Amino acid sequence: MSGFRVGLTTHISPGIHHLRCGPPRSAAVRSRRLNRGQRGQAPEGFIIYRLVLWNIDLTLVDVVRVSREAYAEAFRRVTGRPLVALPQQAGRSDSEIFFESLALNDVSTGGSEQGGQDLLARYTRELTAAFSARRDLLTRNGRLLPGALQAARATAGLPGVIQSVLTGTIRPNAAEKLSAFGLADLFDLDIGGYGSDVYPRGSQLLASRVQAEEKYRVQIAARAVVYIADSGRDVEAARTAGAGCIAVASGRSTVGDLRAAGADVVLTDLSDTAGVVQAVEQLTGVAASR
Ligand SMILES: [Mg+2]
C-alpha cells in the first residue's frame, strides 16, 4: 500500500484510482465545487476516494411529527381512507411504510402487482406535495439533532470524501429535510439511495458507490465506504454491503441494539465532532497511517 500526500496530511490510500494534490479545503469551498461538478466530472482539484453516506431521519434531523402528518394526508388522498394505524417507521422506506399502512388499515391494492405499483406512484406524488406544503413546519416542529451539522460539515471537509444520503425518504422530501436545516450543500444527492427505490438498503448502498465511481470517474474501495445511521436495519445494510457503519443511538435503537447488530462504532449522538471524524478516518483506512 502506498502513502501519498493530500494537503497537509499523509495518508495510506484505500483503493485510490486517481490523485491530484492540493491544499486542504474548507467544507464550504468543497460544497461549492461539489455543486459545480454535478454534470459528472470530479470538481477541479477534488480527489475522491471514499464515500460517506448518511441516514437522515433520527440521525441528522428529527421531523417525525411533520412526516406523520404528511403520510396521513397522502394516504387519505390516495385511498380515500383515514390512516388510523401507522406502522413502525425506524429504518423503513416510504414505500415499505405505505404498503404496511395499506395492510394495517385493510385497504386492498386490487390484488395485482400493477395495482400496487400504481397506488405507490400516486402515493409518492401526494407525499411529495404534502411534505412540500409543510416545508415551514420542519424547523418549527422538528429539530436538527445535536452535533449533526458540525459532524456532517467536518466529514465533508475530510480529504477525498464525497458525501451522500442513504435514506428511507423519497428524494424530494430528503432534499426538503436537508435544506430546512442548512445541510443540503454537504451532500451530492445524485448518488444517494431513497425510499422510492425498491431494492434493499444494502443493495442501495452498493449502487451509491457505483454511481459515485461513474459520476466522478474514480474507484472507491468497498472498505472506503461508511454509513452513518441510527437503526439496526441500517447496520445490517452496511454489513451486507461490506461497508463500515457508525451507528448513532439518537433514534429508536439503543447503544446495545446497535452493538448487537454489529456496528463498527456506536455513538450516543453526534455531538463529539472529533469522535465522528476519527471514526470515519479509522473505518476508511486512513487513521492507520498517522
Ligand atoms: Mg433513521
Express each pLDDT in 20-44 by its tens digit. Answer: 333 334 443 344 344 434 434 455 5
Give the pLDDT score at 272.
97
What is the 89 CA–ligand 1 centroid distance (Å)? Answer: 9
232: CA distance to ligand 1 center in Å? 10
DSSP H helical ranges for 242-272: 255-261
Tell me how far the alpha carbon of residue 98 lies from the centroid of ligand 1, in angstroms.
17
Separation of CA 54 and ligand 1 centre (Å): 9
- Give residue-wise pLDDT tens across range 199-254: 889 999 999 999 999 999 999 999 899 999 999 999 999 999 999 999 999 999 99
State in Å: Cα 233 to ligand 1 middle.
Answer: 9
What are the cell numbers at 41? 466530472
pLDDT at 20: 32
Residues of the chain with pLDDT under 50: 1-41, 287-290
Calculate how far, in angstroms, residue 90's C-alpha sits from the geometric centre of ligand 1: 6
Under DSSP, is residue 163 helix (H, G, I), strand (E, B) or coil? strand
Look up residue 222 and give its amino acid: A
Alpha-carbon distance of 162 to 267, in angstroms, equals 22
Q: Please give the distance, rounded to the nearest whole angstrom, from the Cα atom of residue 56 to the centre of ligand 1.
A: 6
Q: How far is the CA of 28 from the centre of ligand 1 (A)?
A: 25
Three-state SS at 227: strand
Calpha distance 72→66 (Å, rounded): 10
pLDDT of residue 46: 65
What is the whole-number distance in angstroms between the Cα of residue 107 and the centre of ligand 1?
Answer: 27
Please state, in angstroms and rounded to a whole number, the distance separating the CA atoms of residues 173 and 192. 13
Q: How open is the CA angle 116-119-124, to the nearest 5 degrees?
A: 125
What pLDDT was estimated at residue 108? Answer: 84
* Cα 47 to ligand 1 centroid, rounded to whole Å: 29
Q: What is the pTM of this model?
A: 0.83
Look at residue 100 in the predicted model and tell me its pLDDT: 92
Q: Identify residue 211 by its one-letter amino acid code.
A: Q
Specify the 3-state DSSP secondary structure of 5: strand
Please tell me the distance between residue 251's alpha carbon and the centre of ligand 1 in angstroms: 6
Q: Would you state the pLDDT for residue 266? A: 98
What is the CA(57)–ligand 1 centre distance, in A?
4
- CA atoms 130, 132, 136, 137: torsion sign: positive
Q: What is the pLDDT of residue 250?
A: 97
